[in-house]
């Protein structure tokens, strides 16, 4: 296998909202395969960084949304992701509390203030030397 010759490689992935209707078995199969891919990347490019953005609570305006994408389902998906990817060197962008503590209503696509904070959190991982103390 050829070693990575480029500069810093950052790979960001999200396994959340579009997967809420999948069965648990299918979802776990998907994230286990993604874990294998992340391990191959990290072996080939040891300086690469894999970031996984976790789910956040969202609005549920209809009864069917409460069933297929309620907060417990999203929280459980986060738990599965942490379990599967834990210990291989990936970093998690956990925005659950950030979204809950913001005065805007919970949404799949939060407002720009929350998005800005999420980007800042991500950049803290990518270039920590630029973080102001």
2: in domain: no
CATH classification of the domain holding 112: 3.40.50.1110
Which residue ranges of the chain lie beneath pLDDT 50?
Answer: none
Q: Tell whether 26 is covered by a domain.
A: yes
pTM score: 0.82
pLDDT at 53: 92
Report if residue 3 sits inside a domain. Answer: no
**Spatial contact of 56 and 69, defined as CB atoms under 8 Å apart:** no
* Residue 20 resides in a domain: yes
Q: Does 21 fall in a domain?
A: yes
Token representation of residue 4: 């990575």
**Does any domain span residue 92?**
yes
How confident is the model at residue 20, as a pLDDT?
Answer: 75
Q: What one-character-per-residue DSSP string does 25-45 give?
A: HHHHHHHHHHHHHHHHHHHH-
User: For the chain, how many structural domains are there in total?
Assistant: 1
Do the domain assignments include residue 1? no
What is the residue range of 28's domain?
10-127
């Amino acid at each position: 296998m050829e070693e990575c010759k480029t500069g810093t490689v950052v790979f960001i992935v999200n396994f959340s909202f579009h997967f809420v209707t999948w069965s648990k078995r299918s979802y776990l199969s998907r994230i286990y395969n993604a874990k294998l891919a992340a391990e191959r990347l990290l072996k080939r490019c040891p300086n690469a960084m894999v970031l996984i953005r976790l789910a956040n609570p969202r609005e549920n305006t209809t009864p069917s949304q409460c069933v297929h994408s309620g907060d417990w389902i999203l929280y459980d998906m986060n738990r599965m992701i942490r379990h599967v990817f834990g210990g291989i060197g990936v970093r998690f962008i956990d925005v659950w509390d950030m979204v809950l503590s913001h005065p805007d209503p919970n949404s799949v696509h939060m407002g720009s203030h929350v998005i800005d904070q999420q980007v800042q959190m991500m950049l803290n991982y990518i270039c920590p030397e630029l973080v102001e103390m």
